[in-house]
């Protein structure tokens, strides 16, 4: 049974990140820790009572396709109606369209709760949220008034429609056509892997479709973005006739069985009616608004499923009696959590999940400051840091979530490999998170090829300086906290050295950097996670007296474990980044 980690989330938001600092932003003048706590509590209640009970049944049943459309698993339609009635689609959206503005950091915390309870369900509102964000920033006022109020209310949902059978992640190969016709276009083409492309939650779905206007330039420069509704919308907002949009089939997948992944056909006859968003041939930059929002959300999903796997593995380890603990007397089987290696596995899961959570919510805070802080220099620096962190959050937090779910299966032993316990579902479900919105390799290429090079490493250098300064300011009477601090300082220095080496190579032999970009991304995640946990340990040591003593003690011990058993990975990763490129580049593709 899932339990929302409310105390953990509040610790990160209120204590580690000091969310009260958002009060300096006029957009968040009315935000308070009390408001954030109440939203988290309500999200936890909904996730625990409504979404979690549907997770395993939905996995077993899956979705049902027919010529008439997609029907979701039993209980999912009613759960969405409760989700909508509770106002959850409005969270984080622009108040002009009926939304409730809250910090991205809090919104990400809510997304964690939903994803832990039922990832398949959570993907639908996540994509709608991304579509709303793109329309808010890029659509015309008329388009915004026509679509956004109903999308923000949850009355309609939204999708991202990018991938085609021949294109995959290479959007330059998109062939979907858009033919001008009066004030709209006729769209023709097939798209694949469209998450929640069709369903029975709502009467209408607003598809955000990448297509190429006839005569547009080749490559990514000729791509435009279109609004293509499932059902056409009249000028007064009422629904008109069905558009030429059809779900041709649903994919049979490794996991997230209750989430329909659709093959969508646009324009089998006269063409699906679509409406251009913004300027022609600028579709990719508009879609990147959705993709960046989605990349942060998917990073959260990665560690969120890891959190759920951790909860189940911990409960299993406390109740499963097996084996004699080394050094113990007698022959009575003990709970397996008393075995040192099981405890090591659980601490690995716990520390990596806490590091991922801190990193993702820290990135959300940077985006909050980058969008809304009144001082331009603070805004610019925070936005640069937030954008730098997006590929790290998406790449490292999802890779870590996969490893966490795998370790959770190992804690269960043979019982983890069968479906009866549910441990296998977490491993199957989380696997998609390293692929959604760009694989880990695509994220690392973005980190190295764009985020580092655009300012010659200035944003990363500033970040490294801040991390080192904050670690040096830690002064504690607790020797364990000081050991954790020192390990984090060594790791940050290692990341600094490796970054300088990578930047030097990018200028002369960029292919060398791309050959080791994934290890570099993982190095960033491991080290930044260590910095955040060291800070968390110092805060915990200063507040350890009182009713929360056990909570703070656990914080210190978890950070210390991370410093001793996870941070040492940085040494190996740094060596790969500095010395591993030749082993890739010197090997001819024919020999792989």
Checking 460-463 for CB contacts under 8 A at 24+ apart, the result is 460/388, 460/499, 461/496, 461/499, 462/381, 462/384, 462/385, 463/385, 463/388
- The secondary structure element, H or E, covering residue 191 is strand 184-195
Residue 347 confidence (pLDDT) = 98
Q: How far apart are CA 419 and CA 59, in angstroms?
A: 10
Residue 293 confidence (pLDDT) = 80
Residue 592 CB neighbour total at 10 angstroms: 6
pTM above 0.95, yes or no: yes
- The secondary structure element, H or E, covering residue 442 is helix 440-446
Taking the domains of the chain in order of start, what are their residue ranges? Answer: 6-152, 156-283, 441-592
* Paired residues of 242 in beta bridges: 231
Positions annotated as catalytic residues are: 437
Helix ranges restricted to H, 421-478: 423-430, 440-446, 458-472
User: How confident is the model over 282-307, as pLDDT tens digits?
Assistant: 998 888 877 778 899 999 999 999 99
What is the full DSSP assignment across 132-157?
HHHHHHHS-HHHHHHHHHHHHTTSEE
Q: Which residues of 420-452 are buried (b: 16+ CB within 10 A; e: fewer)?
A: ebbbbbbbbbbbbbbebbbbbebbbbbbbeebb
User: CB–CB of 506/457 below 8 Å?
Assistant: no
Q: Which residue numbers in the chain have pLDDT < 50?
A: none
CATH among 2.40.110.20, 2.10.260.10, 1.10.1790.20, 1.10.540.10 for 156-283 = 2.40.110.20
Q: How far apart are CA 413 and CA 91, in angstroms?
A: 40
Residue 329 confidence (pLDDT) = 77
Q: Please, which residues have CB within 8 angstroms of residue 37's CB and are 6 or more apart in sequence?
A: 6, 10
- Residue 3 Cα distances to 53, 310, 496, angstroms: 12, 11, 38
Phi and psi torsions of 323, nearest 5°:
80, 160
What does the block give as tokens for 209?
A: 């479709």
Same fold for the pair 6-152 and 156-283: no
Residue 555 confidence (pLDDT) = 98
Checking 11-18 for CB contacts under 8 A at 24+ apart, the result is 11/536, 11/551, 11/555, 12/109, 12/357, 12/358, 12/361, 12/536, 13/105, 13/106, 13/109, 13/361, 15/539, 15/543, 16/358, 16/362, 16/532, 16/535, 16/536, 16/539, 17/105, 17/361, 17/362, 17/365
CATH among 1.10.540.10, 3.40.1350.10, 1.10.8.590, 2.40.50.100 for 6-152 = 1.10.540.10
Residue 20 CB neighbour total at 10 angstroms: 13
Residue 8 confidence (pLDDT) = 98
């Amino acid at each position: 049974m899932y339990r929302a980690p409310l105390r953990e989330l509040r610790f990160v938001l209120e204590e580690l990140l000091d969310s009260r600092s958002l009060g300096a932003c006029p957009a968040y003048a009315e935000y308070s820790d009390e408001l954030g706590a109440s939203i988290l509590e309500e999200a936890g209640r909904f996730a625990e009572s409504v979404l979690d009970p549907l997770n395993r049944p939905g996995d077993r049943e899956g979705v049902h396709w027919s010529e008439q459309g997609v029907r979701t698993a039993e209980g999912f339609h009613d759960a969405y109606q409760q989700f909508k009635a509770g106002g959850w689609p409005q969270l984080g959206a622009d108040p002009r369209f009926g939304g409730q503005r809250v910090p991205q950091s809090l919104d990400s915390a809510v997304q964690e709760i939903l994803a832990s309870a039922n990832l398949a369900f959570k993907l639908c509102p996540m994509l709608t949220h991304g579509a709303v964000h793109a329309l808010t920033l890029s659509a015309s006022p008329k388009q915004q008034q026509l679509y956004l109020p109903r999308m923000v209310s949850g009355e309609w949902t939204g999708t991202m429609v990018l991938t085609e059978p021949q294109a995959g992640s290479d959007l330059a190969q998109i062939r979907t056509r858009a033919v001008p016709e009066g004030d709209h276009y006729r769209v023709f083409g097939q798209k694949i892997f469209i998450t929640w492309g069709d369903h029975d939650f709502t009467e209408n779905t607003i598809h955000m479709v990448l297509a190429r206007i006839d005569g547009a330039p080749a490559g990514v420069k000729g791509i435009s973005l279109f609004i293509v509704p499932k059902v056409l919308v009249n000028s007064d907002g009422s629904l008109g006739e069905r558009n030429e949009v059809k779900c041709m089939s649903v994919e049979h997948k490794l996991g997230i069985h209750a989430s329909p992944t659709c093959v969508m056909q646009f324009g089998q006859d006269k063409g699906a009616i679509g409406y251009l968003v913004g300027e022609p041939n600028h579709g990719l930059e508009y879609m990147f608004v959705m993709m960046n929002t989605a990349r942060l959300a998917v990073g959260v999903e990665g560690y969120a499923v890891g959190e759920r796997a951790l909860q189940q593995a911990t409960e299993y380890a406390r109740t499963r009696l097996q084996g004699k603990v080394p050094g113990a007397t007698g022959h009575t089987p003990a709970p397996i959590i008393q075995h040192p290696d099981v405890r090591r596995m659980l601490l690995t899961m716990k520390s990596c999940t806490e590091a991922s959570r801190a990193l993702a919510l820290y990135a959300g805070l940077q985006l909050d400051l980058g969008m809304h802080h009144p001082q331009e220099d603070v805004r610019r620096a925070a936005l640069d840091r937030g954008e730098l962190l997006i590929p790290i959050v998406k790449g490292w937090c999802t890779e870590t979530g996969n490893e966490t779910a795998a370790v959770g299966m190992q804690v269960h032993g043979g019982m983890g490999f069968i479906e009866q316990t549910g441990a296998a579902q977490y491993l199957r479900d989380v696997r998609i998170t390293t692929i959604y919105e760009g694989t880990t390799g695509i994220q690392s290429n973005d980190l190295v090829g764009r985020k580092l090079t655009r300012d010659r490493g200035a944003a990363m250098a500033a970040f490294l300086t801040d991390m080192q300064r904050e670690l040096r300011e830690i002064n504690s009477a607790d020797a364990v906290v000081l050991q954790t601090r020192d390990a984090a300082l060594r790791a940050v220095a290692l990341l600094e050295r490796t970054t300088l080496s990578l930047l030097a190579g990018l200028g002369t032999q960029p292919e060398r950097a791309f050959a080791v970009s994934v290890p570099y991304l993982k190095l960033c995640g491991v080290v930044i996670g260590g910095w955040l946990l060291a800070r968390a340990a110092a805060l915990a040591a200063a507040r350890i007296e009182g009713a929360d003593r056990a909570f703070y003690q656990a914080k210190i011990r978890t950070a210390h474990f991370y410093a001793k058993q996870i941070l040492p990975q940085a040494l190996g990763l740094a060596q790969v980044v500095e010395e591993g490129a030749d082993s890739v580049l010197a090997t001819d593709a024919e020999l792989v």
